[in-house]
Amino acid sequence: MHIQNFYVQSIKKQLLIGFFIGLWLFLFLYFVEPFDMYQLRPNERAFASFGYSVVGVLTYTLLIPVQYLLYSIRKSWSWQHEVSLIISLLLLSGITSFLFFKFILLPNEPNTYEFGFFFSQRVIPTMFLMLPVMIFLRWIMGDKTKLATQSVVTVPTIVIKGENKAEVLHIKAAELVYIESANNYVKVFYLLEGELKNELFRNKISVLQNEFPFLLKTHRSFLINPTHFLEWKRESSQTILLLKPGVTEIPVSKTFKKALVEKFINPAE
């Protein structure tokens, strides 16, 4: 499932998200005083809160290139990508904040927490409190429409039906070659894996002409798909139009000859 709204393309917006994460961490740690923060003097608490907020900003900033890499692989952003980002942020911030705690905040304290306890009892709870803010910011600043990374060509499909409900043919418009009228029926000629096939439907050629205006009428009994035009052919007094594949001959009546000649820019003599 794609969640394009959570992918943030702008570097400026990414840095702004990192800043708000750091600000939220500082306010939470300094004023709420969770964990052991209440034991610190105001200046020590301010230093610790600022240090952890810097860790939050740096770790999120370091993961910006990772987001671009994940996006470039699939040209989309999914729940799996978002979860991967959160896990990466959790691990990186856990290691970095422990190093700050161990070697900067309390460098001379011999009985400090081990990494396992620090990570499970300090980092993970803080991460859960930080997630709603981060997710909200990413949703607000994310791209609201899918980025135009590549053009997608859609092939139109048409449905030819007869009066009988069982008479249904689903084909691509380009696969339809021509339609021939046969009393109360029409014979539809189409391509199937490059071979010319035909199906009989109980319907009127006038009905199909209205349903598929891209077809051209060459004769009162024939409709053709102009994409399959090959060339003109003259037999005595009759003009014939040739279609590919298979060089199929289609009669042309005087009524429609002029319009067809103008259409194909190939006047018949």
Number of domains making up the chain: 2
Q: Is 222 exposed, middle or buried (0-12, 13-18, 19+ CB in 10 A)?
A: buried
Cβ-based neighbours of 172, under 8 Å, separated by 6 or more: 155, 156, 157, 158
pTM, two decimal places: 0.54
Rg (CA), the chain: 35
Decide which of 141, 170, 188 is a domain's last residue.
141
pLDDT tens sequence for the chain (269 residues): 556 567 888 899 999 999 999 999 999 999 999 988 888 899 999 999 999 999 999 999 999 998 888 888 877 788 888 899 999 999 999 999 999 999 999 888 877 889 999 999 999 999 999 999 998 999 888 875 444 344 445 567 899 999 988 899 999 999 999 999 988 899 999 999 889 999 999 999 999 999 999 999 999 999 999 999 988 887 777 888 899 887 889 999 989 988 888 888 654 44
Decide which of 141, 171, 190 is a domain's last residue.
141
The H helix count followed by the E strand count for the chain is: 8, 10
146 is a domain residue = no
120 is a domain residue = yes
Tally of residues, the chain: 269
149 is a domain residue = no
Helix H or strand E encompassing 118: helix 115-118
CA–CA distances in Å: residue 119 to residues 7, 47, 122: 28, 20, 6
| pLDDT of the residue at 147 | 40
Range of the domain at 32: 4-141
Same domain, 124 and 208: no
What letter represents residue 90's amino acid? Answer: L
